[in-house]
Amino acid sequence: MATQKLYAGAKLRETRQRLGLTQKEFAGKLGVSLPYLNQMENNNRPVSTGVVLSLAQEFGFDVTELSTGDSERLVSDMREAMADPVFAENAPPLADLRLTASNAPALARAFLDLHRAYRQTHERLASLDEALGRQDARTQPSPWDEVRDFFHYCDNYIDAVDRAAERFANQAAGKGIRAHALSTLEDSGISVSFQDISTIRHFDPTSRRLTLSSRAQPETQGFQLLLQLALIKQDALIEATLDLARFQSEQARAIAKIGLANFFAGAALMPYGAFQTTAHETRHDLELLAHRFGASIEQVAHRLSTLQRPGAKGIPFFFVRVDQAGTITKRHSATRLQFARFGGACPLWNVHRAFETPGRFLRQLAETPDGVRYISLAQDV
């Protein structure tokens, strides 16, 4: 099998500029000639193994940052945008999109921002009466799309939140994460009860009382405990993360806050180091992982899609939840595979048959138009 060559000119150039070095100085430290460096920065030559090693040795550079992940995500997003009927038959070929993503990533992002603005304007014009009645007529992405893009461009991994969750889990020692969460909440003056209520979780900030549904599964109860704990005990960290994200609307910020609390809960229930090691040892057996960590299959599948810590990345997974009508209700991806905003999911995808075979995993090997193969596991939950 031929080895895939690494073209990372834009990333190499960004690294040099961040270090404040000229091309001549950078070439000297990497042990290559000036023309050779120039060719690599312009993607006329692949980044050699020697250069990768020099980056790690000379600058302590995390070589995983040179991966084609960012470029492939841009390609996926541009292909998704090009599926918009407005482009009809004028969409450029895949090769052109790849060249743009690798050679001019800033241009690719500007195009995506422009297309996003176009979509929002188009949607506003479709309901002109409503738009004219609004005080704020600025073009903004929908809150859900904005939050989706935030997690997407973070590789579905938020380092500070993940590490805080791992530290909390490590403090549980031998008493278990659920008992640790309960005692932490109680130490904060919050009483916890389990009752037959219609919602999964209800928190009354006035009485500082958390009520969880007694009908919920134990893994759901544990997750909800950790989610509420994140909203209370990790509020400063979550708010700081939201400040850095600079969401354009308060609604997007509120949605993202719940998303980050969910992220903390999953990361505390399945702490990064222990979970990644166990996943490797069990060959990513979802049922074994669920049993080991007291989690549901859905929680495990979601967690696998977040193992993207710099320097310790896991196998890239994508995770999607679909209802019986075929509507995607939840989606996360650490791979180049993204889920289109335009059109529907492929009718041949095995996820649509999972409802017909309850309790069974369906396996499928599929290839996308860009030639990448994925193995898909589907089960009803």
For the record, the structure tokens of 3 come out as 């080895």
pLDDT at 140: 58
Nearest to 239 by CA among 217, 260, 268, 210: 260
pLDDT at 216: 92
pLDDT along the chain (381 residues), means of 10: 63 84 89 88 82 79 60 77 77 80 81 81 60 50 82 88 96 89 94 92 94 94 95 95 91 94 96 96 95 95 93 88 78 69 64 84 83 85 80
pLDDT at 2: 45
In one-letter notation, the amino acid at residue 132 is L
pLDDT at 123: 64
Domain ranges of the chain: 9-66, 69-139, 315-381
Neighbour count for residue 272 (Cβ, 10 Å) = 21
Neighbour count for residue 1 (Cβ, 10 Å) = 3
pLDDT at 68: 53
Positive or negative, the CA dihedral 160, 161, 164, 165 is: negative
Characterize the bridge pairing of strands 191-195 and 201-204.
unpaired
Q: CB–CB of 302/266 below 8 Å?
A: yes
> What is the rounded CA–CA span in Å between residue 367 and residue 374?
6
Dihedral angle, C-alpha 213, 219, 224, 230, nearest 10 °: 160
For the record, the structure tokens of 104 come out as 């001019």
For the record, the structure tokens of 146 come out as 């904005």
Q: CB–CB of 345/339 below 8 Å?
A: yes
Q: 192: Cβ–Cβ under 8 A, 6 or more apart, which residues?
A: 182, 185, 186, 209, 210, 211, 212, 225
Coil, strand or helix at 274? helix
Q: Domain spanning 9-66: which CATH class is it, in words? A: mainly alpha
pLDDT at 218: 93
pLDDT at 242: 95
pLDDT at 137: 44
Q: 321: Cβ–Cβ under 8 A, 6 or more apart, which residues?
A: 298, 328, 329, 330, 331, 381
pTM for this entry: 0.69
Residue with token string 């482009």: 87
